[in-house]
Amino acid sequence: MQHFFADPSDIIDHDIYIRGEDYNHIKNVLRMKQGEVISVSDGVSGNEYRCHIEDFADETVHCRLDFIKEADTELPVNVCLFQSLPKGDKMELVIQKAVELGVTEIVPVASKRCVTRLDAKRAKSRVERWNSISEAAAKQSARRMIPAVHDVMDFKEALRYAEKADIRLIPYELAEDFGKTRQIIDSISDGQSVAIFIGPEGGFAEEEIEEAKDSGVTPVTLGRRILRTETAALVVLSWLVYKSEESGRLPETGSARFASENDESPGHMAGEQR
């Protein structure tokens, strides 16, 4: 089933309106027809609005609500990935897979050993593309929100931004004691926020590791092997997914509320949750 996002203001009573690029994608690329069923998220409430296409008009897809699925596909923890800029188009792969695995937000980091350097114009263009990739991955994986890809930060800015996180980790090839890493991952509980710092191809400089430790970031090991930068973040995210599903905190199936004309309007309910 195709999944799309709609602005909360476009969910009105039992009517849902999809505009912009998704209108063209639904009508001209997918060539979907009246009556076909799709799922829609507003990016805010966590609900999935299951609906069918009513008609196409004025560059808008008009959908009619069938029911609201209340199951949450998001991780029970908020994860911010601080990814040092890798070479080539590896960042696109990292963003795509990180979004599929449940990351909440992504911060590109210009750390000391990054080969890739972006001027202001190139950085703006890249960030726009990276956000488009995040949106596409969120649709593909039926996320309830679109993870934001922030503007590029230097390492010190990234450390300051991460201060709000409950748990801050930095995989480091010289870190030891896998038991400590396992203990930290096991200690993460629902509702906490986690910051993960990933180095570039050359790894973090020693002074960056010291800066991170001074800021309260904990070095951890990912095992005996040296992982590529595009692999490291996905390993940590996979651990978090495994831990969440293992403990049964991610529902396999969710309850569904069927819509009727006498129900309180979905748009109003979504507004209350916001």
Ranges assigned E (strand) in 75-114: 78-84, 105-110
Pick from 254, 264, 271, 249: nearest CA to 50: 254
| pLDDT, position 254 | 43
> In a 3-state reduction of DSSP, which class is residue 9?
helix
In terms of CATH architecture, what is 3-72+252-273? Beta Barrel (2.40)
Of 5, 105, 107, nearest to 49 (Cα)?
Answer: 5
Q: What pLDDT score does 271 carry?
A: 37
Alpha helix stretches (DSSP H) within the chain? 21-24, 90-101, 120-140, 155-162, 178-187, 206-214, 229-246, 266-273
How many angstroms separate the Cα of 66 from the Cα of each of 11, 41, 102, 257?
Answer: 13, 14, 27, 9
Sequence spans of domains, the chain: 3-72+252-273, 78-246
CA 219 – CA 172 distance, rounded (Å): 6
pLDDT along the chain (274 residues), means of 10: 88 91 88 90 82 91 87 84 95 97 96 90 94 94 92 96 96 83 91 95 94 95 88 92 66 46 45 34
What is the per-residue pLDDT for 263?
52
The model carries a pTM of: 0.76
Query: What distance in Å separates the CA atoms of residue 172 and residue 212, rounded to the nearest whole number?
Result: 11
Q: What's the pLDDT score for residue 15?
A: 92
The CATH architecture to which 78-246 belongs is 3-Layer(aba) Sandwich (3.40)
DSSP state of 144: S
**Res 246: pLDDT:** 61
